[in-house]
Structure 1
Amino acid sequence: MSVFSRYRIVIPVLNQLRYTRQGVESLIEHGVAPGDILVIDNASTDDTPRWLADTPALRSVHNRVNLGCGGAWAQGAFLCGDADWVVLLNNDILSGPRAIDTMLDAAEREGLKVVSPALLEGDDDYGFATFAPDYQRRMAGTVRRGWFHGVCFAVHRSVFEQIGFPDTDRRLGGHEDIEFLVRCLRSGLPVGTVGDAVLHHFGSITQKAIKQETGAKTLGDRHYFYSRLGLGWLGRKRFKLQRERQRERWSREEMAQHGSSLHMLRSGSRWRPV
């Protein structure tokens, strides 16, 4: 493909075909061309390889070994050099109205180089398909500057040229998004999360499955992650406290203005702002 596309979507997967198929169908329903989706199969052992082979409209890569999330992100970003934006996306999502296009429209309006959509997480016992349009109207124009999340973040290709690809170190497991966020912030890159687009996220389905299968409580080394950021014990405490205070401030202001926040958790048929 010699002509630049506005975006390509990279979806790393490891088994969990039901969620992958559901997420892909949701994206296509909301305006994404199948050829703009690249599925990175990290050595799935279920029917994922067969489904991808039977769905030639999608681009896909099958890895013989699990490269991890960061490895798949970097691989996908490298393979999508023909796009202005690379959207790194979890497989266990549902798309709100034209979520990818409206997210990028907002990023370009706000001058952001990395951008995430609003996020509704948990069980879809509230009817996301009917809830999302009204939520999106209420939250349009709302921006959390200085934060994006790992469920979905779109990276302008100039960012990769400036700071490189996501880290492929497997010991970062579960922290690759924060590592990339910190690199962006330290480089002065404008990043944010916007209310003009929304996704439903079922909640780290693949990570939970790996933990259940292996018996591991965590997939990464938290202390190693902080050491990679150059943070000792006191630095870690300050980093976590600053993030928590900023999150609470954003949530409080958004709830007061809109009655919702840009990150909501669904539990026990009730919402909790994050």
Structure 2
Amino acid sequence: MTYTVVIPVLNQLKFTRLCVESLLAGGTPAASVLVIDNASTDDTPAWLANEAGVPSITNRVNLGCGGAWAQGSFHSQADWVVLLNNDVIVPPNGMADLLAAAEREGFDVVSPALLEGALDYDFTTYAPTYVNEMKGVTRTGWFHGVCFAIKRSVFETVGYPDTDRLLGGHEDKEYLVRCLRHGVRVGTVGATVLHHFGSITQKAMKKESGVKSLGDRHHAYQRMGMGWWARKRFKAQQRKQTEDWSRDESAAHGITLHMLRENGGWRFV
């Protein structure tokens, strides 16, 4: 089973380096990593040029997250394409464990469990303990945009991620809706877990541009084919399902598949 990890980047070299180093240290072959540089203006281009073993594509303009996802997915010839944020740390065997769980559970699109927020705990020690408890836990019908792996056959059924720049921040939700409408089995697994610092690039872009949102949510829902009532119903269903998952997982395991780090502790999502 082959895979390509596609990582869109725009500046924020510190986080890109941490992400790539964690992948390589965790057993992902360098040739299986593909960094898409969306016209960075910091030291990212120079760093990529020196990382001869890590494939990369440099864009002259910022194609946005969806554009980079589609570009990397189209470029890859692997069995699976893993779309990964650059502001994450991956544990040992993280990608292999994620895809093994997808095959075992019958998911064609799959995300790992997620720990978000400040890295004020020992992720290296906590991750294996977490996985040992949660390795058999799944959430069927949902994946998150921080990291999701797509089986190649899904591109034939659903197509590639949408490149519309007005989706900014809603690209993962648009792809989720498309997958669900086509009957693609999607899910999240506790067989591996990532630490996510928290949308570092998007926050930097918002601060620089002075906007509250990088995309147009009304346009995004129109793109998904949802009017006002359908949007309200979809969001309510998602909220209710997330609350049910969190309640059941915390009752059974004391932790959940999505947790936020706050004030030295965890909040369940």
Q: Deviations over 1:40-62 (max 9, x none)?
A: 00000000000000111000000
What one-letter code is carried by the residue in structure 2 that aligns with 1:21?
A: R
Q: Distance in 1 between matches of 2:184 and 2:17?
A: 34
Q: Distance in 2 between matches of 1:251 and 1:202?
A: 21
Is the Cα contact below 8 Å between 1:97 and 1:197 reproduced in 2? no
Q: Distance in 2 between matches of 1:215 and 1:18?
A: 23
Structure 2 counterparts to residues 45-60 of structure 1, below 5 A: 45-60=41-56
**Match among 236, 242, 253 for residue 237 of structure 2:** 242
Q: What secondary structure sits across from 1:141 in the alignment?
A: coil
Q: Distance in 2 between matches of 1:126 and 1:17?
A: 22
Q: TM-score, normalised by structure 2?
A: 0.99
Q: TM-score, normalised by structure 1?
A: 0.97
Q: Distance in 2 between matches of 1:269 and 1:258?
A: 20
1:184 corresponds in structure 2 to: 179
The offset of 1:98, in angstroms, is: 1.0
Question: 5+ residue gaps in structure 1?
Answer: none
Q: Deviations over 1:122-144 (max 9, x none)?
A: 00101111111100100001110
Q: Percent identity?
A: 64
Matched, 1:44 2:36: no
Is the Cα contact below 8 Å between 1:19 and 1:91 reproduced in 2? yes
**Match among 101, 114, 132 for residue 96 of structure 2:** 101
Q: Distance in 2 between matches of 1:188 and 1:86?
A: 19
What one-letter code is carried by the residue in structure 2 that aligns with 1:37?
A: V
Matched, 1:162 2:144: no
Q: Distance in 2 between matches of 1:193 and 1:6?
A: 20
Which consecutive segments of 4 or more residues in structure 1 shift more than 3 A? none
Q: Distance in 2 between matches of 1:27 and 1:12?
A: 15
What one-letter code is carried by the residue in structure 2 that aligns with 1:30?
A: G
The offset of 1:232, in angstroms, is: 1.6
1:263 corresponds in structure 2 to: 258
Q: What secondary structure sits across from 1:83 in the alignment?
A: coil
Q: Distance in 1 between matches of 2:8 and 2:89?
A: 15
| Segment drifting more, 229-238 vs 193-202 | 229-238
Q: What secondary structure sits across from 2:46 in the alignment?
A: helix
Matched, 1:231 2:260: no
1:173 corresponds in structure 2 to: 168
Q: Deviations over 1:104-129 (max 9, x none)?
A: 00000011100000000000101111
The offset of 1:97, in angstroms, is: 2.9
2:9 corresponds in structure 1 to: 13
What one-letter code is carried by the residue in structure 2 that aligns with 1:18?
A: K
Superposition RMSD in Å? 0.7
Number of aligned residue pairs: 269
1:145 corresponds in structure 2 to: 140
2:62 corresponds in structure 1 to: 66
